[in-house]
Structure 1
Amino acid sequence: MRKHTTTSLATTGLLAAALLVPAPAALADGNTLTVDVGSSVRTVTRVGNGGLYALATPTDPDPSLLPALHLNQLTQPPPGVQQLGNGATTPTGDALKIGQTAVSAGAQQQIRVPDIYPDFPYKWVSWDDLTAKVNTMVQQRLDRQDLTNVNGWELWNEPDWTWDTAKAGPFNDGFARIAKIVRAKDAVTPIVGPSFSKYDHDLMLSFMTAQKASGTVPDVASWHELDDGGWNSVAAHVADYRAIEKQLGISPRPISINEYGSPNQVDDPSVAVHLVAAFERSGVRDAERAYWYESGTIGGLIWNDKPTGSYWVYKWLADQSGNVVKTTPSGDFDGVASYDAVRKTVNVVAGGVYGTNNVKINGLAPLGSQVQVTVNYTPKSGRKSNVDAPTQVSSSTYTVTNGSITVPIKDQDYLGAYQVLVTPVGGAVSTQTYEAENATVVNAERLTSASASNGGYVGRIDGTGDARKDSFVDFVVNVPTAGKYTMGVRYANGGTSTATQGLAYNGSAFSTISYPPTGSWGTFTTNATASAGLDLKAGYNVIRLAKGSPNFAGGSGYAELDSITLTKS
């Protein structure tokens, strides 16, 4: 959070449209966004689907709206939060209070330590006061052994302008001091920092140099991307940070952009597309929509428990599966695209220009000689206007020539966003198969193998009896009708004896699922089937496979997870 008063291109664009003034030349039409289906960038993890103060209370926003967004990462205030952000009269968002709602949506969360204070910018009290507060919040988190989704302590927020050097001493020393306070109680949960308000080479180099010297290098590197048009700088910032790590001999850290989107542009669907595309290309682990206005709206995606225009961008991103594939922007026409080899579906989310533009998609031979293409649109509605559903612009059959098609989008709105959905003519392959690497992966690793479906799987799944270290995978599934479902698991077990994991869904009690040996690691088979049917509700459900988890004593042996398949009994 920070004060920001500049006027964005998007804001002025609305006035221009009202006055019938043409859009800026930089957004001119005649562009062709190119998608290469055969060139995989990374596994779909929905990098940008998250927010700061995204959840205000366990029921605000309506929890039933959350699974459809496949939320990846949240940043929430600590237990006992006193922060009154953006004119709020009551503190909201306590990480421990909203924790189970986030878990039920498949989301992880960082805890922002300094929001234990009411003011922003923060008013320094004393080191004794901060030490006592940190010790209290860490202990409160440790006492919550039922809560699995806290994956970081963010030690300060925007210290480049909110840290009181005169009273607290230099920030680099202060960060190390807070880190040691946390580590004295919690040696497991990752430390996140420095969370500068914007990327600055000199500040980052100084910070990382000091933390290496003190043995307190953060486990997750973080900063904010809040400037108008900031997507143009993301790649350079990431590259510069990686160079600093290499220069200092620091192993590569995951990168969290735990605030993104300026107040002028956070409600522009096209801006969301630009930013998320930059994050995906640059290898950012997670990014959270900024909290400029109301908490509990996921940065303006929901208003009065209904979608806004921007919501549909993130719903389209949530529906992506398989692998993110290469996109090459043209001018300001950019996008994020995925290809699911199991469902035979290409899902492109794009925007940023006006007039008539094209999306060229290469590598479509696996979908057949003809494909069905549906183009959908969502407008800039503002954060306080609801959009019940996207508008279908067109639905047509295209002939694939040399593996390619070119889809024109006419009369494009450069503030809105578009989805281009490509399937075989008969529709996407009907399957209830869900890839483990596309799920929420906790304390395990996404790995690649040519023998795995869609090329990815989850391994190094362990269990310790500690809610901060237990390993599990949460699958957010969407079934058409309620009823009993049998679940088959595609897995590998390179050991010599049967391995076991716990199975639970929608908060149910755990049962045990068994994985006989498959001969070697990376050799996948589908013969681990839930012994009892899963009683699923129509729509979204969350299924957990766990080596360790609250209310589950722990499994035996080891198994790698490739995918699950649900079949109506």
Structure 2
Amino acid sequence: MPDVLSVDFAQTTGDFRGGATGTLYGFGDDGVPTQALIDGAHITNSSQKAPYGTQHPSGDALTIEDGFFAKHGQELAIYIQDYYPDWSYNGGKRPGDARTYDQTTGTFVEQSNGVWDYLEIVEFVTEAVATQSDHPEKYLFIPFNEPDGGNWYPDWAAQQDQFLADWQATYEKIQEVYDRHGLGHARIGGPGDTRWQPERSADYLTYAKANDVLPDVFIWHELGIDNLATFRSHMRDYRQLEQDLGIDPIHVNITEYGMLRDMGVPGQLVQWLSMFEDEKVDAQTAYWNYAGNLSDNTARAGGANAGWWMFKWYGDLEGSQTVQVDPPHPDTVDTLQGIGAIDAANRRATVLLGGTDDDVRLDLSGLDRRTFGQKVDVEVREVTLSGAQGLSSTPRVVQRLDGATVRSGELALDLDTYDRYAAYQVLVTPAQAHEAAAAPTWTTSIEAEDTALTDAQVYAQDPQGDGGWKFLASGGHDVGSFNKATSRADWTVTVPRDGTYRLQVIGATPGVPGRHALFVDGALDQPVQYTADLALTSAQKWQYRGSTEVQVELAAGEHVLSLRASEDGRTLLPNADITLDKLVLTDVSDGEPTAYPARTMRFAGGAGLDWDGGKAQGSAGVQGDGQRAEVYATAMESGYYDIAVRHTTSASSDLTLSANGRAATTFDTPRPGSWVSTARVHLAEGINELELTSVTGALVESVTTTRASDDAAVTVEAEDTDLHGTAVVASKSAASGSNASGGKVVEWLGDGEENYLEIARAAGFDAAGDYDVTVRYANAELSGKHDYNPQVVDRELQVREGDSVAGATHFRYTFSWDSFWDRTVPVTLATADRPLRFGNPEAFAPNIDAITIAPLVAGEPTTRRVTGHAPLVAGEPTTRRVTGRG
């Protein structure tokens, strides 16, 4: 029997809150994560390090605030105690008055001055925000983090009075600083306990009410596996406590939630998100590893893993009303859960669901005929586990229903679910006219444990094992002990045509890059190069999975693809002992065209779906200042993509396409009609933010991206550049398994004006204008020690045109100095001939393997007139079993 998820769109439960994808230390330094990842994930709240704090090398709130507040950020919290370098803070003991703090610099001398030392830190941190932030009114100060744990006040019976007095003192000090600068009321959150503590909470709220120091946000943590079952009861207890004490409802933020096993796993995340959204609270994913990757919900320097897509889908509900969802097993760990929402203005209904291995019956009701009409289109998209560090491409349509009849507001669908770790987005809109769909981009996959294995072992990965201190494997199993020269995994697969196919291998490379050999039908085809994955502890080694991608030419028909630990069956390849989780094969012969129809877009400034009729109904209408439609497009590799925009105009018009914050081109149409406008634009590996605007007005039906030729780009090996100062060429040994091209890189860049590499201007980048500069880099710098957080350092690289900075950003951790990723830097050049310099005068830059310089737009954009309805282009749908009943 299938699990039944009932969704009643007529029973609304309030405005969409959207705060459940908050993060703790989800931001590292400026540019980590990229702006496209931040905006696409729709992060509204985050907790970060206190200004100039020493708990972690990155994550300073003042450093990351611009990117955070750029689009969706609403409240940036500060853990004030993270000013201290150690965990637990100050050795776990409440400080006394042994020091005197210089409020102008934050430094101290070992001398008592009659003022509690921590109160001086509170003043310094608050002063920094009050005087240096552009948005001091959007900050939340958290004076105490886990005071009931190892941080100063664990013994409530003996320390209650001290904590309450300290709460009042810190609260009043923060308000004093804001009052000093005329900033009004400073927002403060607490108490910040490790878990729901009813006795402590009652004492705290009673005192805070009596002394006029109530928090603006009530905070505790929900971290364990069982919290998926108990959180709602905790919320009921808390709200009842407020009523009993005569306190008006205080907003709640669960500032840490989830275990390692939940991060990056859409089928797990949707269970947490549904609870928090039901209760209309904010919540932040826990910080178990390193800063700057949205709590293990991004991949590489700028890519999405499957968890990011769950964040993105959740953020897409902005502007909606949530509706009643009845799961088959509410408040039960690791079961089917969901979120339902209706966006009446855009006539779009959404269900997000996941968490079960069983098939699902989706019972929809309350589909108002005045909003949706008698017939609807339904699309089901699926995102599957890609590993914490594995690239996840744009989720595909796996089921669709065109023109389904809705009777009495009801519609039922049977969904073929893939895996309990996968999640699904179901979109319901009024029926549109469709032409026959073009053939979809072909893809298939296999779990590693289902391949034919030789000298390798299948391991079961219990999702509740180790108390949740582990990363999950697709299908619940993976393949390890791949450590003999005879180790191999064979996959017999049939491909539909002669062409080029991308093989993606999802697996874990423990702390070092590694290599396998790909054999096709028994013959060596090419090496498979893996970059390093996190492996600092047993909870990460062999489990922190990433992905690698290679392209292989295959003829139509059956083939055996074989991943092997040796090329000759006798000698192990470097670091070949790699965990295998899943293999994915995709036809990329035609550039993997991927469509983003209007119904999947985000809107701002009054833009939205237009349902007034005509052949363009259901298109995104944009017109005038502030209106825009947004697409978050995937590039599985850095390079040029043809971006085709299908749009309709009622007169001569304009349509501007921006890519990652820069205007790429404006398409002008001379008269009314339907058009396809195309520009070849350079995109960064991972997620790219595309925005569409129009002064005079346009209706956008879809955006399609297709991989194109990189002829306009110029690549330079770092060892072939002019080196200055300490910059030096270094060789990577064959035994290292490094993916450095040619085995050579440039190291010791930066940490001084004179230490840089220089590239003379040449054909391809010998004109002023906007460019993308893609740097193949490594950064494995750590600074300091911590009980469980790898203390990673984000290294900044500046691209200078002569002495002027043309572009700069931070480059995140790559786990090994032998492991190289791509990071794209937007650069604007002002001249045609001044050389480009790569370095950092203030600190060390990343090591560099190669640099690719590409004009943002290649060639001339085109616009052609089209007739007929918009076809469903390749890459948009694939179809499985669909049952629709009205």
- TM-score, normalised relative to structure 2: 0.45
Match of 2:228 in 1: 231
Contact 1:221 1:255 in 2 (8 A): yes
Match of 1:92 in 2: 58
- Cα drift, residue 290 of structure 1: 1.1
Q: How does 1:59-138 map to 2 (within 5 A)?
A: 59-84=31-56, 91-107=57-73, 108-123=75-90, 124=93, 125-127=95-97, 128-138=116-126
Match of 1:373 in 2: 378
- Cα drift, residue 81 of structure 1: 1.6
**Quick one: which amino acid aligns to residue 119 of structure 1?**
D
User: For residues 347 and 154 of structure 1, what CA distance do their matches in structure 2 show?
Assistant: 35
Deviations 1:512-555 (A, max 9, x none): xxxxxxxxxxxxxxxxxxxxx9997536879xxxxxxxxxxxxx
1:387 aligns with 2:353: no
- Cα drift, residue 323 of structure 1: 1.0
SS in 1 for 2:247: coil
Match of 1:261 in 2: 258
Kindly tell me the number of residue pairs found equivalent between the two proteins: 428
Match of 2:287 in 1: 291
User: For residues 241 and 79 of structure 2, what CA distance do their matches in structure 1 show?
Assistant: 25
Distance 1:536 1:52, change over 3 A: farther
1:345 aligns with 2:348: yes
Match of 2:206 in 1: 209
Contact 2:321 2:341 in 1 (8 A): yes
- Cα drift, residue 281 of structure 1: 1.5
1:303 aligns with 2:334: no
Distance 1:400 1:200, change over 3 A: same
User: For residues 261 and 432 of structure 1, what CA distance do their matches in structure 2 show?
Assistant: 28
Structure number with the higher strand fraction is 2
Match of 1:560 in 2: none
Match of 1:323 in 2: 321
Query: Bigger CA drift: 57-66 or 420-429?
Result: 420-429
Match of 2:548 in 1: none
Distance 1:368 1:329, change over 3 A: same
Deviations 1:484-514 (A, max 9, x none): 834589xxxxxxxxxxxxxxxxxxxxxxxxx
User: For residues 656 and 141 of structure 2, what CA distance do their matches in structure 1 show?
Assistant: 35
Match of 1:422 in 2: 428
- Cα drift, residue 391 of structure 1: 3.2
Match of 1:362 in 2: 365
Task: From 145, 162, 178, give the equivalent of 2:170.
Answer: 178
Deviations 1:147-191 (A, max 9, x none): 356331011111111332489873233222221221221251211
SS in 1 for 2:135: coil
User: For residues 222 and 249 of structure 2, what CA distance do their matches in structure 1 show?
Assistant: 20
**Quick one: which amino acid aligns to residue 370 of structure 1?**
K
- Cα drift, residue 83 of structure 1: 0.9
**Quick one: which amino acid aligns to residue 430 of structure 2?**
P
Match of 2:24 in 1: 52
Match of 1:485 in 2: 624
How many percent identity over aligned positions? 24
- Cα drift, residue 216 of structure 1: 1.6
- Cα drift, residue 270 of structure 1: 1.7
SS in 2 for 1:192: strand
SS in 2 for 1:335: strand
Distance 1:411 1:431, change over 3 A: closer
**Quick one: which amino acid aligns to residue 303 of structure 1?**
A
SS in 1 for 2:149: helix
Task: From 183, 191, 195, give the equivalent of 2:192.
Answer: 195
Contact 2:656 2:693 in 1 (8 A): no
SS in 1 for 2:359: strand
Deviations 1:433-483 (A, max 9, x none): 6489x9xxxxxxxxxxxxxxxxxxxxxxxxxxxxxxxxxxxxxxxx989x9
- Cα drift, residue 45 of structure 1: 3.0
Deviations 1:213-245 (A, max 9, x none): 333221111111111141222221111111111
- TM-score, normalised relative to structure 1: 0.69
The CA RMSD over aligned residues, in Å, is: 3.1
User: For residues 342 and 435 of structure 1, what CA distance do their matches in structure 2 show?
Assistant: 13
- Cα drift, residue 78 of structure 1: 0.9
Distance 1:181 1:148, change over 3 A: closer
User: For residues 602 and 230 of structure 2, what CA distance do their matches in structure 1 show?
Assistant: 39
Distance 1:158 1:430, change over 3 A: closer
Contact 1:484 1:536 in 2 (8 A): no
Contact 1:339 1:347 in 2 (8 A): yes
Distance 1:137 1:432, change over 3 A: closer
Kindly indicate whether structure 1 or structure 2 has the higher relative contact order, using CA contacts under 8 Å at least 6 residues apart: 1
Distance 1:267 1:129, change over 3 A: same
The runs of 5 or more residues in structure 2 that have no matched partner are 98-115, 180-184, 330-334, 433-596, 608-618, 629-652, 663-691, 697-886
Contact 1:485 1:534 in 2 (8 A): no
Match of 1:270 in 2: 267
Distance 1:243 1:142, change over 3 A: same
Structure number with the higher helix fraction is 1
User: For residues 695 and 340 of structure 2, what CA distance do their matches in structure 1 show?
Assistant: 30
User: For residues 314 and 229 of structure 1, what CA distance do their matches in structure 2 show?
Assistant: 22
User: For residues 278 and 204 of structure 2, what CA distance do their matches in structure 1 show?
Assistant: 26
